[in-house]
Amino acid sequence: MPKLKNKSKQYLFKNKINLIRKSKKELIKESLFMILFGLFLLLVIYLIPQKTILFNSFKNNILDIFNNLFEIFFYTLEILIVLLICLALLSTIFLFIGSFNRFLKVVSPKSKKYKLR
């Protein structure tokens, strides 16, 4: 039977770490690409017309969304109250029917039935 080596978990991925560092040339090239991409994004943002109107409409739209959510919550609460009333009404009807049935069984004369054992 072969011997199993029980290595601790802290050394499980020790040999898989990439120890090769990037050269300074590659780091400078990547930083220049990052700067160019950032400048491109700033240019795109600059070319968008009427930014202030868009920000104001965004604020108004967020407030409208919260108002609509409040209305949805309010209407859902009303629906739940109506369902609770309907459930209570059905349960009272069943209780009345059961109580009248029991009352009639107690008051009415018992018929003489023979019980077979």
DSSP string covering 2-46: PPPP---GGGTTGGGS--PPPPHHHHHHHHHHHHHHHHHHHHHHH
DSSP 12: T
15 or 29, which is more confident?
A: 29
pTM score: 0.48
77 has pLDDT over 80? yes
Residue 61 CA to residue 34 CA, distance in Å, equals 33
User: What does the chain come to in residues?
Assistant: 117
Express each pLDDT in 29-72 by its tens digit: 999 999 999 999 999 999 999 988 988 899 899 999 999 999 99
